[in-house]
Amino acid sequence: AVARLAGALARRNGEDPERVEVAVFLHDWLKPLPPARLRRLLSRYHEPLDADTERVPELWHGPAAAAFARHSLGIRDAGVLDAVRWHSTGRPGFPVIGRILFLADFCAEGREFPEARRGRELALASLSRGLRYVIACKLAWLHAQRLPVHRASLALWGEVAGLHG
């Protein structure tokens, strides 16, 4: 479902569907691994984590998958690797491929929360409107759960909500 939505968003927004497909394949590939294995993999590839990612092991699978893809699979497409690394939190200056993966991961058909359907509708109509909606939903959920908010997510929110510059 993530691949289907990401492909549709790629075609609507002038992104290469094959690049998006690679990012979709990789983004949650290592998610089933326990934190200790992800930590070893990150260490093996000398991939540091920023402080916000470091404190939330549930975010480690993205950076680990990007590192593995680069070092073991030979993937050199910086946009694909960036999308995989930041797909859970987003980041300011996120390229189109990253925005597509971020949205598709949240909004894919079959997600059981009502915000997914609305996010999907908005994203298919306008990538930027979908992105504003999804990042707002993610931030609201984290706040309601009293979970830490990644600075990159806040910066992305500021960027898409027009709070910067």
CA-to-CA distance for 122 and 12, rounded, in angstroms?
Answer: 13
Over residues 45-63, the pLDDT tens digits come to 999 999 999 999 999 999 9
Read off the DSSP letter of residue 112: -
**In this structure, what are the phi and psi dihedrals at residue 29, rounded to the nearest 5 degrees?**
-55, -40
Over residues 108-118, the pLDDT tens digits come to 999 989 999 99
CA-to-CA distance for 143 and 34, rounded, in angstroms?
Answer: 25
- Please identify which residue in the block is written with the tokens 């994203």: 123
Could you tell me the CA-to-CA distances from 161 to 29, 41, 131, 132 in Å, in that order?
A: 31, 36, 10, 7
**Residues of the chain above pLDDT 90, percent:** 96
Q: Is the pLDDT of residue 85 over 90?
A: yes
Single pTM value for the model: 0.94
Residue type for position 112: E
